[in-house]
Amino acid sequence: MSGPNVAKEPGPQGEESPVAHSPLPDEKKKREYKEFGHDEEKPTHANVDMSLIELKAEDLYDKEKVDLETIVIEDVFKLLQCDENGLGDEEAQRRIELFGPNKLEQEEQNPFLQFLSFMWNPLSWVMEGAALVAIVLSNGNNQPPDWEDFIGIVLLLFINSAIGFYEERNAGNAVKALMDSLAPKAKVKRNGTWLEIESAGLVPGDMISFKIGDIVPADCRLTEAINVSIDQAALTGESLPQSKKLGDQCFSGSTCKQGEAEGVVISTGANTFFGRAASLVGQDDDTTGHLQKILAQIGSFCLVSIGIFVLAEILVLYAGFRYSYRRGLNNILVLLIGGIPIAMPTVLSVTLAVGAQQLAKHKAIVTRITAIEELAGVTILCSDKTGTLTTNKLTIDKATIRTYGPFSADDVMLLAAYASRTENQDAIDSAVVQALGDVSRARAGIKLLDFKPFNPVDKRTEITYREESSGKLKRVTKGMTGIIIELCSRNKTEELENRLEADVEEFATRGLRALAVAYEELDGQDPEGEGNGFELIGLLAIFDPPREDTKQTIDDALALGVKVKMVTGDQLAIAKETGRRLGLGDHMYPAKVLKDGPAPGSKHLSLDEMILDADGFAGVFPEHKYEIVKRLQGLGHLCAMTGDGANDAPALSRANVGIAVEGATDAARGAADIVLTEPGLSTIVHAIRGSRVIFQRMRNYSIYACAVTIRIVVCFAILAFAFKFDFPPFMVLIIALLNDGTIMTLSVDRVLPSMTPDSWDLAEIFSYAVAYGIYLTASTVALVAIIMKTTFFYDKFGVTFNGHPSPNGANDYQLHMIVYLQVAIISQALIFVTRSHGFFFMERPSVALLAAFCIAQLVSSIIAAYANFGFTQIQAISGGWIGIVWVWNLVWFAPLDWIKFAMKATVIKRLRERHEAAQAEQAITGVPITRTQSRAASIHESLYSNRVSFIRRAARKVGFGSKITMKPEELQRFSSIQAQRTGATLARNPSRTAA
C-alpha cells in the first residue's frame, strides 16, 4: 500500500497497516499498530481579554490572540455570547435575521417569467416578427391589417408555451415536494429546555444534541461527548468513522455512528464547511447545456434556410414580378409561419418532461431536465466509491479470516461476537454481530458477567461470561492488533508474531482493516479474577463491501458502451480491492499523479492519456474530482458523475450529468442533475436506457422538423416562382397547428434504445431533412403542374373546379384547398418514416401517435370538404378531389423508405466513414478532434435554454474560490475561522440583553 502517495490524511480506517520497522533485538516482540489520527494540541486560552467581545476583524484573524482551533470551550461561549442553557427564543430569532436560515439557499423561479421564457428564442422571435408583420406591416394596398393571421400566430405561440410550462412546472413541483420531504430535524436547547425543530432554524450559539444515527445539523464544537464516533464520509470520502472527544469539531452533514453528544453551534447554512463545499457548485453557468447547443444549431439551419428563400422571394416577386406590397408580403408570411419549427423547443421540452416522469417510476428524480438528453450520450461514468459503489456499512470478510489457535474460523467469529455489544452498537460491533447471520447467537448459551465497551484509550472490547453448558468462566477480547498482541501471554511465539505481522500487512495492501481476537479461561468463579492468560486465536478483516447490485450494474453499463471509473477519497489499497471485487480492474493511481503527471518512462505520454486509461483514482480531493471530469470532457467525452457527499458536489456540478445516489447529502443533491431515491446504482442503467429512448424520440422529431422546414419554404417558393401561386398564410397556420398537436405525442412514442452512447450527428439530420424535404416538394409541385397544365384528373375521375375542368388560374380558391390538403397529409405522414430505422410498418408507433395522426387527418379532410372561410382564399372541394389527394399522397409516400435506405447507403455512409476516420486520427495523434464543454456560456446557445433548473445551484461566491482541502487539520482550522467570523458578526450586533 503506497500510503505516502495518498494526498490527504487517512481516515479512521487504516493505520493498522503495519509500519515497517528495522527489527531491533530488544523490540522483537513489540510491534507498533498505530490508530489513525493526528497529533493533538493542548487547549489554550485566547491572548485577549474575553470580556471585551468587540474584537476587530484583524484581531479575530490574528492567531497570536485568538486561535479557536485550540482555545477552551469557555472562551468559545464568551465569543459567541451564549451558555450551556441555550439561547432564548427572542435571541434565536434575532440571530436568524443576522445569519439567515441553516440551509442552502434555493432560487425560486418566477412562474410568469418561466412561461414567457418559452417565447424567448430565435425561432419564437421569427414567429413574433411574423405576427408583427401581419398586424403592422400588412396594413397596405387599401386592405386592413391581417387580424386572422395575427391571432392565429399568437395563439400558436401561447399554446406551445402553455404546454411546455405545464409539463415543466409539474416536473419541478414533484422535485420540490421530494426535497421538502427530506427536511432534517435537530434537537436544540432553547430557554433551558430541549426541543425538536427543523434544522433550518438553528443559529450560531445554539446548544444542540445528537446521538447514534443522527445527522449533525450544523458545524459545532462538542461540549459533551460520550463514546462518540462520527462518520465524515460525506465530507472526506473516508470509509470509517472518527472518534470525537470534548472540544472537537463536528461538521454539518456528518453522521453520528456511536455514542451521544452535545455541542455549541459555531456556523450555519452556507457558512458551514458543507455549504462552502457546495459553493463550488456555482462555478459553472447553468444557463445553457448540451441540448441548447443542438437546438441552437438546428434553429440556425431552419433560419438560414428560410432566410435564403425569403430573400429570393423579395428579389423575384418584387423586383421580377412587380408584385404589390401586400401580395408579396403574404407570400413571405407563408415561408415565415410554415418554415419555422415553432414547436421545437416545446416538443423537446415536453418529451424530456414526460421522460422525467417515466424515470421517476424507476426512482430517479430529474432536477435538470435537459440532463436526460446528455445522459443518453454519456461515454464515461465517474463514480464515487463510499456509499455509491459500496454500502458505506462495515462488514466482516469471512473468506479472509485468519486463525492461530485451536479454534475454527466460525468459532473465532462467534467469540468475536461475544465480545461485541448487541445494542447501542458502534459500526465494528454491528459488523461482527451481523456476520453471524443470526444475531441472537451473540448471547446464546452464555451468561454475561462483565462487559468493557470500546474506548479510545484501550482500543478494545472485552467480555467475561459463564458458559452455560460447562459452567466455566471465560473471557474474550477483540480490538486493535497491536493492543491485543501485547495482552497475549499464552502460546505467543516469534513464529506466531511474524505470521500475524505478515497477515496484517497483507490485509493492509488489500485495503482491509484488521481486528484481532484473543481468549482466556478463568479458574475460579470470580468474574474479576485473573485468567490463565490471553491467547491470540484469530484475525478478522473488515471492509466496506460493494452493494449487491453494483457489479451487475457496472457490467450493464459496459454493455451499453459506458466505461466506469472509480474516483474516491479513500486509500489506494482500498480502492484497488474494491475495483477487483467489482470487476472494474485495479489499474488505479493516487491523486498526486494529477499534479505530477505520468512518471518518466511510463507507458502514458500525457496526463490526459493516463486519466483516460485509468480504472480509477484514490485519495482525491474535490478539486481533483472536478479536474478529472473537466479533462475527460476536454477529450470529447460526455461525462456522468455519481456521488453522495458534499465532497462530490463540485464534480457533480461540472459533469454533464451529475447523479446523487440514495441517501446523498443536501449539497450533493443540490449539485446533481438526477437524484436517485433507491439504494444502489441499478437505477442508473434504467436511466441510461430511458434517456436513450427519449433521445431517439428527439432525434426523430428533429429530422422531421428540419424536413418540414425545407419542404414548406422550397415548395411554396417554387410554386410562387413557377406559377405565381399565392398560398393563404392562414392555412399554413392551420397546418402548423395540426402538426404540433400530433407531434406532441412523440413524447410517448414507442422506440428502441441504442446499445451505444447516442450523439447528435447534425450533418446526418440535415442530410435526411434535405432529401425528404425536396422529395415532398416534388410531390406538391408535380400535383400542381398536372392540375394547371393538363385535364388529367377531369378526364379520368370527372372532378372539376366549380364546374370547369381546369382551375381559374394559379390562385383558384379550390386549388389552394387541394394544395393545403396534400401538404397537410403527407407532411405529417413523414413522421412514420423518420421514427423508424427500417420499413415504417416494421416498427409499431404508440397508440397516442397513431390516434393523433388519424384525428389530425380527419380534421384536415373535414376542413377541405366544408371550410369556406370568408377571410382567407380557400373554397371547399368535392369528395372526389379529397380521394384523389389521399391516393396521390399514398403513391408518393411509399418510396420514402427507399429514399431513407438510399441515403444510408450513400451520403450517411460517407459521413460516418469520415467521422470514424477523424476518431481514428484522434486515437493515433492523441489530439482531441471535438471538445465538449459543460454548461457552455454562449449567448446564442443560451437563448435556446428552457430555463428548467428547478433546484438552483447554491451560487453564492463564498468560501475557497476553486480549491477545497479536506485534511482533518484543515477541517479543524476551518472551524476556527468559522467561529471567529460568527463572533465578529455578533460583536458588531451585540445582544439586546447584554449589559
pLDDT digits (tens, 9 = 90+) for 930-966: 333 333 333 445 444 443 333 233 222 222 222 333 3
Query: Which region, left, alpha or beta, applies to residue 913 given φ > 0 means left and ψ of -120 to 50 means alpha?
Result: alpha
Give the pLDDT confidence score for residue 977 in this predicted structure. 58
pLDDT at 713: 95
Catalytic residues: 384
pLDDT at 131: 86
Give the residue among 764, 775, 772 at the shortest CA–CA distance from 704: 772
- Predicted confidence at residue 722, as pLDDT, reads 94
How far CA 986 is from CA of 55, 83, 221, 446, 983, in Å, comes to: 10, 14, 17, 58, 5
pLDDT score for 234: 64
Distance CA 378, CA 756 (A): 9
Neighbour count for residue 25 (Cβ, 10 Å):
5
Mean pLDDT for back-to-back runs of 10 residues, the chain (995 residues): 36 37 43 42 54 41 49 78 88 87 72 80 82 77 78 86 76 57 77 88 91 84 87 68 85 83 86 66 46 81 92 93 89 90 78 78 77 88 83 85 88 93 82 88 89 82 91 91 89 89 87 89 85 91 86 89 88 86 87 83 84 89 82 88 76 87 74 81 84 88 93 96 93 89 85 87 92 97 95 92 90 94 95 91 92 95 91 91 96 95 92 81 48 35 42 28 38 54 67 46
Strand order across the 616-618 sheet: 364-366, 674-676, 657-660, 639-643, 380-383, 563-567, 616-618, 588-590
What are residue 249's DSSP bridge partners?
221
CA distance 428 to 514: 11
Residues 103-157: tens digit of each pLDDT: 776 666 678 887 887 787 787 888 888 888 888 776 666 777 778 888 988 988 8
Residue type, 37: G
* 3 state SS of 118: coil
The three cell numbers locating residue 368: 435538470
